[in-house]
């Protein structure tokens, strides 16, 4: 049965994506888009295009705006960081709506994430469980963002800094680190406790010498322009 | 009236060639009228009873759905996206003939559809929907010459909105690159447009784009991307202000505010007013929201220019030392450094992480190692362009028959 519902869900997703692609400026698709937001929440999927399309329809007809749906879109957008989706959504939401308490909270949360203040973020998120816990996968998505920023910045990160950023401590952190060591190539320095260092996987941002090879090449679609001439 | 004339086009009864300039003017004027109407409608306070009665009676006039669907219909009917796609494979000629049809067909629908994509970009920018705006423009490769560059008004409108949308999405390098190119182009060709009825408009947008470039470069000081001629113009106009914008005090924020307000599009609120008393003006609402969110972004980046100052002069330094210099504790410094990383790395339309950093670094335990990024010169693109050009010249020569 599980597979059956999944199939159904993905066909709903396809149908709505199709609507957004073919008929984006149609007020009649508003209810479909709202359902689709709920669907994204329950199936842990995400479509920025569809959500922006819905916010646009709200912008055209503010009386149809549902604050509950908007809140869900914003939580989903937070989970899409480091992409700027949260601001992209705010650009479309009328200021008086943004004044509501739950949106103010979300804006503060976004501010902490944008400025990498993870300690404050997790404290604030804990206070607003009712908003963020309504969306499954929230914690995990933010941890992924935190790891993204860490791996842009660090070759070796102190355990305490990592713990604070992803909000995992003690034994669960040990477990998490072991998992990353086996699956994602993390290297854990010997020796335990606060001073432990973790070697994050190399990328072109924390190991700039890796970058050169990509910068010198010409993208294929540029070459294709001269194919007719070459042939 | 525009709806009517466009209807004729949409239903395919036009069978002639019209100059690109005229076709651009049609799209341009259409969007402009819509923008002006929204501005007018939003000023409710000063309306007479008669005006209000008319607005109520014709509540579908310049309806935002109508406007967007019209532009969209032109794009679809013209099949322009498919044409541009086929052109890439060499199956179709559009750009090479500047959109004109030399085989007896009409260029009207095709080119109107083409310019409508620029129109959609503009309308979406007016609504604050930068992501969707850029998506509408995606079929046009703006890094190359195209039909949009064949009319100066369309060229400027395209790049102005493209650059602005990228600025709002924090893709500063992309915005700087395109602003630089068009400002250089205007600088070199300005004299030829002096007699154009759009000369005033060209100058105005020129000034606005310098202001936007000043904003971009203050947030992302990649001066190397800017041509010498453009840079000296920029210094002349905004050199002193840009120095002050680096300081991040109240005065600096006031300058960001001033430049943004001067250079931003005329944002609109697309919804109809509430006719209930008391009547309020809401024509500034959309602009105020975009300004507020932009300044919010500037505030989040306020400590980064401090970091930059030190990254410029050291190749390695300890976190402790930098913390002392910046007068913050070490934990705060770590968040500032990560903010620097996050804000200087944007996500492009494919979800790829792109570095916008002029000075980059990595942290090894508690040592910061600084890396100056040198933009790689892209010769490949230059050669590709010359190859296409040469081919064009050779084709032209083949066509000339010597008697």
- For B25, half-sphere exposure in the C-beta direction (CA atoms, 13 angstrom radius) is 7
pLDDT level of residue A168 (50, 70, 90 thresholds): confident
More confident residue, B235 or B110: B235
Q: How far is CA A82 from CA A54, A121, B277, in A?
A: 22, 15, 44
The distance of B108 to chain A (nearest Cα, Å) reads 23
Query: Do B142 and B161 form a contact (C-beta atoms < 8 A)?
Result: no
More confident residue, B5 or A197: A197
Asked whether the predicted pLDDT for residue A1 surpasses 50, the reply is: no
Q: Can you name the residues that pair with A199 across neighbouring β-strands? A: A156, A187
pTM above 0.90, yes or no: no
- The DSSP letter of residue A55 is H
Tokens 């100059």 sit at which residue? B19
Residue A42 zone, left/alpha/beta (φ > 0; ψ -120 to 50; rest): alpha
A111 contact residues in B (CB cutoff 8 A)? 296, 300
B297 contact residues in A (CB cutoff 8 A)? 87
Q: Which two three-digit tokens encode residue B122?
A: 């503009």
A157 sits in which H/E element: strand A154-158
pLDDT level of residue A194 (50, 70, 90 thresholds): low
Task: Give me the residues of B, 57-86, that contact A with CB < 8 A.
Answer: 64-65, 68-69, 72
Nearest CB to A222 within list B343, B371, B380: B380
Q: Which of B139, B90, B135, B133 is nearest to B110 (CA)?
A: B139
Residue B157 three-state SS: helix
Asked whether the predicted pLDDT for residue B133 surpasses 90, the reply is: yes
What's the pLDDT at B18? 83
Cβ separation A149–B342 shorter than 8 A: yes
What's the pLDDT at A214? 52
Cβ separation B338–A116 shorter than 8 A: yes
Q: Which residue of A has its CA nearest to B143?
A: A222
Cβ separation A227–B90 shorter than 8 A: yes
Cβ separation B363–A154 shorter than 8 A: yes
What's the pLDDT at B378? 64
What's the pLDDT at A155? 86
Strands A197-199 and B367-372 come out as unpaired
Strands A154-158 and B316-318 come out as unpaired
Q: How far is CA B37 from CA A90, B34, B60, B272, in A?
A: 24, 5, 12, 11
Query: Do B356 and B173 form a contact (C-beta atoms < 8 A)?
Result: yes
Q: Out of A38-52, B107-121, B225-239, B377-391, pick the least confident.
A: B377-391
Q: Is A79 on the interface with B (CB under 8 A)?
A: no
Average pLDDT of B155-174?
93
Angle, CA B169 vertex, CA B338 and CA A23 arms, to 5°: 135
| Cα A159 from chain centroid (whole Å) | 24
Task: Give me the residues of B, 337-376, that contact A with CB < 8 A.
Answer: 337-339, 341-343, 345-347, 351, 353, 355, 360-366, 371, 373, 376
What's the pLDDT at A211? 66
Q: Can you name the residues that pair with B369 across neighbouring β-strands? A: B316, B362
Please tell me the distance from the alpha carbon of residue B273 to that of residue A102, in angstroms, as a whole number.
26
Asked whether the predicted pLDDT for residue A208 surpasses 90, the reply is: no
What's the pLDDT at B207? 92
What's the pLDDT at A158? 86
Query: Do B229 and B184 form a contact (C-beta atoms < 8 A)?
Result: yes
Query: A80-134: per-residue pLDDT in tens?
Result: 999 999 999 999 999 989 999 989 999 999 999 999 999 999 999 989 888 888 8
Average pLDDT of B360-381?
77
Beginning with the edge strand found earlier in the chain, give each strand of the sheet holding A197-199 in spatial order: A187-188, A197-199, A154-158, B359-364, B367-372, B316-318
What's the pLDDT at B12? 57
Q: Can you name the residues that pair with B363 across neighbouring β-strands? A: A154, B368
What's the pLDDT at B376? 57
Crossing angle between the packed helical segments B330-344 and A138-153, to the nearest 10 degrees:
90
Average pLDDT of A154-166?
87
* Cβ-based neighbours of A104, under 8 Å, separated by 6 or more: A98
Q: Out of A147-156, B250-259, B270-279, pick the least confident.
A: B270-279
Mean per-residue pLDDT over chain B, rounded: 84
Tokens 């923008």 sit at which residue? B35
Q: Is A215 on the interface with B (CB under 8 A)?
A: yes
Residue A130 three-state SS: helix
Tokens 């044409």 sit at which residue? B83
The distance of A228 to chain B (nearest Cα, Å) reads 6
pLDDT level of residue B19 (50, 70, 90 thresholds): confident
pLDDT level of residue B8 (50, 70, 90 thresholds): low
Average pLDDT of B288-313?
89
């Amino acid at each position: 049965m599980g597979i059956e519902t999944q199939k159904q869900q993905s066909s709903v997703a396809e149908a709505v994506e199709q609507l957004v692609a073919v008929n984006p400026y149609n007020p009649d698709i508003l209810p479909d888009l709202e359902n689709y937001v709920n669907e994204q929440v329950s199936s842990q999927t995400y479509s920025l295009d569809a959500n922006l399309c819905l916010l646009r329809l709200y912008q055209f007809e503010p009386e149809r705006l549902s604050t509950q749906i908007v809140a869900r879109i914003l939580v989903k957008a937070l989970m899409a960081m480091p992409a700027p989706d949260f601001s992209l959504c705010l650009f479309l939401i009328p200021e008086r709506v943004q004044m509501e308490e739950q949106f103010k909270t979300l804006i503060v949360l976004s501010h902490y994430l944008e400025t990498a203040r993870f300690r404050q973020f997790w404290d604030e998120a804990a206070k607003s469980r009712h908003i963020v816990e309504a969306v499954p996968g929230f914690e995990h998505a933010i941890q992924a963002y935190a790891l993204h920023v860490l791996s842009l910045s660090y070759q070796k990160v102190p355990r305490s800094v990592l713990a604070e950023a992803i909000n995992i401590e003690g034994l669960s952190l040990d477990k998490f680190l072991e998992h990353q060591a086996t699956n994602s190539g993390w290297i854990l320095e010997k020796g335990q406790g606060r001073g432990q260092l973790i070697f994050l996987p190399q990328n072109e941002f924390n190991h700039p010498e890796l970058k050169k090879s990509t910068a010198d090449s010409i993208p294929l679609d540029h070459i294709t322009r001269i194919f007719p001439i070459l042939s | 009236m525009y709806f009517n004339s466009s209807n004729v086009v949409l239903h395919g009864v036009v069978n002639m060639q019209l100059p690109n300039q005229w076709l651009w003017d049609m799209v341009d004027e259409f969007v402009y009228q819509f923008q002006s109407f929204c501005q007018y409608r939003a000023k409710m306070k000063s309306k007479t009873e008669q005006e209000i009665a008319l607005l109520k009676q014709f509540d579908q006039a310049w309806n935002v759905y109508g406007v967007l669907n019209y532009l969209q219909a032109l794009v679809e009917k013209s099949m322009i996206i498919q044409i541009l796609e086929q052109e890439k494979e060499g199956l179709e000629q559009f750009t090479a003939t500047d959109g004109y049809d030399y085989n007896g067909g009409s260029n009207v629908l095709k080119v109107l559809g083409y310019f409508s994509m620029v129109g959609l970009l503009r309308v979406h920018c007016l609504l604050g929907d930068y992501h969707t705006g850029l998506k509408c423009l995606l079929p046009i490769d703006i890094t190359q010459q195209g039909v949009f560059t064949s009319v100066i008004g369309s060229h400027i409108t395209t790049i102005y909105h493209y650059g602005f949308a990228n600025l709002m999405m924090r893709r500063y390098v992309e915005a700087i690159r395109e602003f630089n190119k068009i400002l250089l182009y205007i600088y070199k060709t300005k004299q030829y447009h002096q007699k154009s009825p759009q000369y005033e408009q060209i100058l105005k947008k020129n000034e606005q784009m310098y202001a936007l470039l000043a904003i971009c470069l203050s947030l992302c000081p990649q001066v190397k991307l800017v041509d010498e001629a453009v840079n000296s113009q920029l210094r002349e106009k905004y050199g002193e202000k840009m120095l002050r914008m680096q300081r991040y005090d109240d005065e600096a924020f006031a300058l960001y505010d001033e430049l943004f307000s001067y250079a931003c599009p005329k944002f609109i609120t697309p919804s109809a007013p509430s006719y209930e008393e008391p009547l309020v003006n809401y024509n500034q609402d959309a602009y105020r929201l975009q300004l507020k969110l932009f300044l919010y972004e500037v505030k989040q980046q306020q400590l980064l220019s401090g970091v930059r100052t030190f990254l410029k002069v050291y190749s390695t330094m300890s976190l402790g030392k930098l913390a002392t210099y910046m007068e913050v504790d070490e934990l705060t410094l770590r968040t500032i450094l990560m903010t620097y990383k996050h804000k200087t790395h944007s996500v492009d339309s494919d979800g790829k992480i792109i570095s916008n950093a002029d000075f980059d670094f990595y942290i090894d335990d508690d040592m910061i190692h600084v890396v100056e990024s040198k933009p790689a010169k892209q010769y490949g693109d230059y050669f590709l362009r010359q190859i296409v050009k040469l081919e064009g010249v050779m084709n032209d020569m083949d066509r000339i028959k010597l008697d």
